[in-house]
Amino acid sequence: MRLTIVAVGGRMPAWVEEGVSEYSKRLPRELRLQWREVPLARRGKDAKAEQLCQAEGEQILKAVPQGDRVIALDVKGRSWTTPELAQQLSSWQMSGDNYSLLIGGPDGLSAECLARAERRWSLSALTLPHPLVRIVLAEQLYRAWTITVNHPYHRE
């Protein structure tokens, strides 16, 4: 199974790249993480948040691989505990489908991105900086996988 993370943003600091890389390489070949970045829409003095979000949304949807099922990371989405995420991950793996997880820009995801998603997942009720979201997401996916294979990484 392939998980594609489509994220708005540009070049990340080295500590983000290192963190994401570390958790990504820990995952088995059967569960590949693929990262796709789309550029942040140009923010000018007359730019409106809705227009920026719309422009970024169009790029996000173009970056979603054909046939992928979509999960939107959205603060208004449903929170999952780590064991619940492990159940979701197991279900995704059993489906035989590939999934794309969408991370919006500073203004969130467009209505079209949210409509394309079959689920909305909230990592936290807190507002997290986008670089940190990438590391938290990669680590939580790794942690969820360890639960599914009874690896001792996760302790309850």
Per the annotation, where are the binding residues?
73, 104, 123-128
**Can you tell me the distance from the alpha carbon of 156 to that of 145, in angstroms, rounded to the nearest whole number?**
15
Identify whether the C-beta of residue 64 lies closer than 8 Å to the C-beta of residue 70: yes
Per the annotation, where are the binding residues for S-adenosyl-L-methionine?
73, 104, 123-128
> For residue 75, with 0-12 CB atoms within 10 Å meaning exposed, 13-18 middle and 19 or more buried, which class applies?
middle
Identify whether the C-beta of residue 59 lies closer than 8 Å to the C-beta of residue 52: no
Which pair of structure tokens corresponds to residue 85? 């995420």
**Can you tell me the distance from the alpha carbon of 81 to that of 87, in angstroms, rounded to the nearest whole number?**
10
